[in-house]
Amino acid sequence: MENLLTYMKVKRYETKNRKKIFLNLNKRIDLIPEKYQSLKDSCRAIKWLGNAGSHSAKKITLDDVMDAYEIMDEVLSKLFDEKQEHINKLVNTINKKKGPKGSK
């Protein structure tokens, strides 16, 4: 998740008094740019599942792991699926022109 946030151009640290202060995952998710806002809830859900597996006394189940994979698959598809990017551009063009992309 940290590397995906870096890919989305989310800063990893702030500078205070000339010292680098690394941002925790929760803060970085809060800073997801507008372009990727649709992924924010999914990223937070993956974070919670990861925290449960890493830091919690609660035992996670195979279903929990599969939920994380399913959510991550959707995040990766939205980030890297070229067809999705093409469709988003097409939708934006049609909406901007308020009609077919060839209309004036």
Q: Phi first, then psi: what are they for 32, rounded to 5°? A: -55, 130
- Record the pTM: 0.75
CA angle 76, 3, 9 (to 5 degrees): 90
Helix (H, G, I), strand (E, B) or coil at 103: coil
Which residue in the block uniquely carries the two structure tokens 């990017």?
Answer: 85
The candidate with the shortest Cα–Cα distance to 44, out of 66, 33, 29, is 29
CB distance 46 to 25 below 8 Å: no
Q: What is the pLDDT of residues 9-52, one digit of tens each?
A: 999 999 999 999 999 999 999 999 999 999 999 999 999 999 88
Q: What is the pLDDT of residues 79-102, one digit of tens each?
A: 888 777 788 888 989 999 888 888
